[in-house]
Chain A
Amino acid sequence: MAITVETEHQNGAESVENRISVRSLWKVFGEDPDRAMSSEYTGKQKSEIQEELGCVVALKDVSFDVNEGETFVVMGLSGSGKSTLVRCLTRLIEPNAGEIYVDAEDVIKYNGRELTNFRRTKTAMVFQHFGLMPNRTILDNVSFGLEIQGIDKHTRWEKAREVIELVGLKGWEDNYATELSGGMQQRVGLARALAVDPEILLMDEPFSALDPLIRREMQDELINLQTTLKKTIVFITHDLDEALRLGTRIAIMKDGEIVQLGSKEEIVDNPADSYVEDFIRSISRTRVLGAGSIMQDASIVVDSSTGIDSLLKKLDETEEDHVFVTSSDNRLIGMVSEKDLSSDSLDKNSSLKELITNDPPILNRVYQDTPIDELVPLSAMSDCPVAVVDEEDTLLGIVTRGSLLLSLAESQQAQINDSSS
């Protein structure tokens, strides 16, 4: 089965191979899974099927793809089937029907030895309950996966020490898990998963058992690690904040079905149904939406060879106070304010180049996906609109104080409406 897809990346036809492709996956707990999966029950609610057949439909015809290197977050309330889903991926729970392609191989068709091998090398899992062996030291816990692979003591300890240092637990190698705090225990869990150098990390609510401060710290840590490791991650959570912080894409599950799958902007901006709406109600939109969603075109963009006089004339025609200067390939060089241009001390012969300001706090650059909230302090400190650029420093648009205030006001209004309805 060909599982390459054309991504909707703006660069055009860039094809990315899916790491994981799940097709119509079913899991029914109970005595009569075949009937529960048959067409006569497709339209029925989970609770109805449970009443009629005594079967619990944990996964109902679930399909999705996970791209290489992305953090795919599966979110849902407890009982929505998200933990079952992640266990089905490695067949810790055997699904009733469906296909799971990992690197174009169907995991469902693996025999015992192939499955063992798959679990050993391709994937590693981090659990909500940590799952550390109380009788092993941290070092032996971390090297567990390697030990199972039959790697000799010296090599696996060496690798384990490396990973322990990576998660910031150096010096704790010879302690037992019970001597560590919750956050540290989960670091060990993470280290154990990383030690086998898996291509795919499966994380089942890894931070849910931690207190909020530690949770945030661990999320940052994961984001940091991910920038260098670039693993494909399937991340399960019930916490929308966490999903929005970590997820490249988010799938929201309800009663064993994926009700919405998309980027965080899509989900916050355009919730599929009332269930998703309930989720995002408490979330301030400006924390999720990027600067790209409210930017506008800079009205006056010139290149550095433009004369000062013609520029002043242009400025008079509009209400703008700032001019953005770009190079010939549209890269942002800097900004010139009207004040500077019209000041008396200005030498009429000097060129525009000398007036350009290009550094914070006067000129601030942000990316398209920088949350709107982060623009507020930047905008407060400088009169100049915030410039929205891409990685190549191409000017995409600007965010003025006015549009920023407007979006904040809208978001607040939306929240008031939600809470009153």
Chain B
Amino acid sequence: MQNIKDFYSSEGTLVDRIKPYAMTLFFVVILVDLILQIPKGPAMFNFFPKLYFWIFVSLSGFLMISILGSMKEQLHKYITGTIFVIFSLLALVGVPDSFPFYAPGQEQHEIEGQRIQKVDKIKVSIGDTDVKPTAVYGWIDSTVLSLKVKFKTHFRSLVNNLLKAMVPLQKELQDMPWYLFAGLLYLIAWKVNGHKIAVLSVTGLFILNIFNLWDGAMVTMAVVGTATFLSIVIAVPVGILAAKSDRVEKMVKPMLDMAQTMPSFVYLIPAIFFLGIGMVPAVFATIVYAVPPGIRLTNLGIRLVSPELKETARAFGTTPWQLLVKVELPLARPTIMAGINQTVMMALAMVVIAALVGAGGLGADVYAGVQQLEFGRGLMGGLGIVILAVIIDRISQGFVKDPSSA
């Protein structure tokens, strides 16, 4: 904006005119809030109860309207308007004690006809902070529980099927003589990225072997390998869908942001709850964390294919499927491969956290080191993970290279 006068101009729609005032008011309230040190959270209703809440709600309403006002659809305006009115009325009447978010936490389960009595959620204290349970926790927990009850057999068969694939893989990897594994790895690395990387990889394996990290490394490989494979199976199709449809992209992006910013420990809780202890929940928690870069870069790679080349292909009579398979995917390959590389790295980063749910492997060494304050043990486990990471990263970088620049 050039000057204040322009900012508060009286031109444009109602929303345009209200927007600057709403923004100003919002910042003023925040300022007053800071100066008077008004308490936050439910406690704030004890202080100046109705008016404060009313101001807050109306400001959020104004802001939402002003943001959504830029959209063309009238519908959005009506929805936000309705929300605004409901919150305002609620604020005028006063927030009842039973207002869901602030009610004290209780949970009430009913499992297969058997009634379980109401239990107050335990109040937890960490340091000086009280972590108060609220009713929302109970809602989520009971939903999750009922899901588990409903799909018990499905989860069980899922775990069994995955284990059927993973246990032999892990066994095979552990039982294989290390030199055979090294030979295979040398061949793969040489084919993909040349002798230099191949020598580096085998040297890494040699180090793992002489420090007795071999078994752990193989378990970790089994978990990371399975998680990566499943991640790719999910990431590439979703990425393609997101590239093809702006709507899908808009829906997927916030989910990916959340998956990546949410502390990864959180995924462990439902994973254990549904899938028990062991490699399977570890794989699932890893997938949630490792899938986002795969989806993002697949989407990006396909969107970056030049419109001229797509037009050319269409002019020669490609079907949408041919366009994807013969033009878009090959041209997006370097970017997709970079995404897969990132996926593997993310999966390795989850190894220690996965050890918490009993996935074993090198992560377990680190975890044990932390628990018993054995620095040596933790460090060697960590080094093992680093060596694995270097080997996998260098080999998979070979796929990223463009064939025409080779």
Question: Is A178 engaged at the interface, CB distance under 8 Å to the other chain?
Answer: yes
User: In the bound complex, how far is the Cα of B402 from the Cα of A178, in angstroms?
Assistant: 12
In the complex with contacts A92-B311, A131-B309, A131-B311, A196-B403 CB distance below 8 A = no
Closest chain-B Cβ to A208's Cβ sits at a distance in Å of 14
Complex contact A148–B317 (CB within 8 A): yes
Bound Cα distance A117, B319 (Å): 10
Q: Is B404 an interface residue (CB 8 A)?
A: yes
B327 within 8 A of partner (CB)? yes
Which one of B312, B319, B404 lies within 8 Å of A135 (CB-CB)? B404
Interfacial residues of chain B within 374-406, with CB under 8 A of chain A in the complex: 402-405
Give the most central of A123, A129, A135, A145: most B CB within 10 Å.
A135
Given contacts A92-B311, A127-B308, A135-B333, whether A149 and B317 have CB atoms under 8 Å apart is yes
Residues from 59 to 96 in B contacting A, C-beta threshold 8 Å = none
Instruction: Report whether B318 and A148 are in contact in the complex, using a CB–CB cutoff of 8 Å.
Output: yes
Residues of B within 8 A of A7 (CB): none
User: Contact flags (1/0) for B319-347 with A, using CB distance below 8 Å?
Assistant: 10010001100110100000000000000
CB of B156 closer than 8 Å to a CB of A? no
Give the contacting residue for B316; candidates A135, A176, A177, A196; CB below 8 A.
A196
Q: What is the CA–CA distance of A250 and B349 in the complex, to the nearest angstrom? A: 66
Residue of B nearest to A147 (CB): B326
Decide if A134 is an interface residue (CB 8 Å cutoff).
Answer: yes
The reply to whether the CB of A293 lies closer than 8 angstroms to some CB of chain B is no
Which residues from B are CB-within-8-Å of A196?
A: 316
> CB within 8 A of A134: which of B318, B326, B331?
B331
Q: Does A90 make an interface contact (CB < 8 A)?
A: yes
In whole angstroms, how far apart are the Cα atoms of A127 and B315 in the complex? Answer: 10
Footprint of B on A, CB under 8 Å? 90, 92, 116-121, 123-125, 127, 129, 131, 133-135, 144-145, 147-149, 176-178, 192, 196, 202
| B314 touches A (CB below 8 Å) | yes
A119 and B333 alpha carbons, distance in the complex (Å): 27
How far does the alpha carbon of A177 sit from the alpha carbon of B312 in the complex, in Å?
15
| Chain B residue nearest in CB terms to A93 | B311
Known contacts A127-B308, A133-B331, A148-B322; A120/B314 CB under 8 A? no
Contact indicator B319/A90 (Cβ below 8 Å): no
When chains A and B are docked, how far (Å) is the Cα of A134 from the Cα of B308? 12
A119–B312 touching, CB < 8 Å: no
The residue from A92, A121, A134, A145 contacting B404, defined by CB atoms under 8 A apart? A134
Contact (A148, B326) CB under 8 Å given A117-B317, A120-B317, A135-B404: yes
**Which A residue sits closest to B331, measured CB to CB?**
A135
* B319 to chain A: closest residue by CB: A116
Question: Would you call A131 and B308 a contact (CB within 8 A)?
Answer: yes
A135 touching B402 by the CB < 8 A rule?
yes
For B308, B314, B315, B333, the residue with the greatest tally of chain A CB atoms inside 10 Å of its CB is B315
Contact A148 B402 (CB under 8 A): no
If A125-B312, A129-B308, A133-B327 touch, whether A119 touches B404 (CB-CB below 8 Å) is no
CB of B52 to closest CB in A, whole Å: 45
**Measured between C-beta atoms, what is the minimum distance from A85 to chain B in Å?**
14
Task: Report Cα–Cα, A125/B318, bound state, in Å.
Answer: 13
